[in-house]
């Protein structure tokens, strides 16, 4: 895993092998950030990274100058790894151990961009519930991006605007 752009461009991050994660590929990550750089000035945005895993996406946002990144994951070891790495790289990432749906239902902070990379075996109704909860947390003109498997179709969920595919990785974009 490496950071592909920004202050820490090219920096390799070695996550422990025992973490239950599936990091976003460099190809997919590069495609995503090519899109986002035309939508946002990343120096001005508040980011929420759900199902953060190793923190791969959080590090990319922070390296590119995001104002504040909040990373959520239910796995204690993932959160500890993100905290350790963010401290070493002097990144403004707040890592919180929590289950995503309960966290979203209690959240009062608003965000410009919410990125979610849930387990690929989620049922459609869980995706629907997650989009409903995140819609309430987005600032005007904010977007939700969900990374998912190519066999999952989220186009029927309210707020869906487009999808981009990179091999097996698909990013579905939502605006409300």
Q: Could you report the per-residue pLDDT of 52-97, keeping only the tens digit for each? A: 999 999 999 999 999 899 999 999 999 999 999 999 999 999 999 9
Residue 82, both tokens? 């993100």
Using the predicted structure, report yes or no on whether residue 129 has a pLDDT greater than 80: yes
Domain regions of the chain by residue span: 29-174
CB 73 within 8 A of CB 53: yes
Residues 6+ apart with CB under 8 A from 162: 172, 173
pTM: 0.94
CATH architecture designation of domain 29-174: 3-Layer(aba) Sandwich (3.40)
pLDDT at 2: 87
Residues 6+ apart with CB under 8 A from 22: 53, 117, 120
């Amino acid at each position: 895993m490496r950071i592909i752009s920004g202050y820490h461009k090219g920096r390799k991050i070695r996550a422990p092998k025992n973490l239950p994660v599936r990091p976003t590929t460099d190809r997919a990550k590069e495609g995503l950030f090519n899109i986002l750089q035309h939508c946002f000035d990343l120096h001005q945005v508040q980011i929420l990274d759900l199902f953060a895993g190793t923190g791969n996406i959080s590090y990319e946002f922070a390296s590119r100058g995001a104002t504040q990144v909040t990373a959520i994951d239910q796995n204690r070891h993932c959160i500890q790894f993100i905290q350790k790495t963010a401290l070493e790289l002097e990144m403004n990432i707040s890592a919180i151990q929590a289950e995503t749906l309960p966290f979203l239902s209690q959240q009062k902070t608003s965000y410009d961009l919410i990125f979610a990379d849930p387990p690929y075996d989620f049922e459609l109704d869980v995706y629907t519930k997650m989009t409903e909860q995140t819609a309430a947390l987005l600032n005007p003109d904010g977007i939700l991006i969900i990374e998912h498997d190519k066999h999952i179709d989220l186009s029927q969920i309210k707020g869906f605007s487009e999808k981009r595919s990179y091999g097996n990785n698909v990013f579905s974009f939502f605006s409300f």
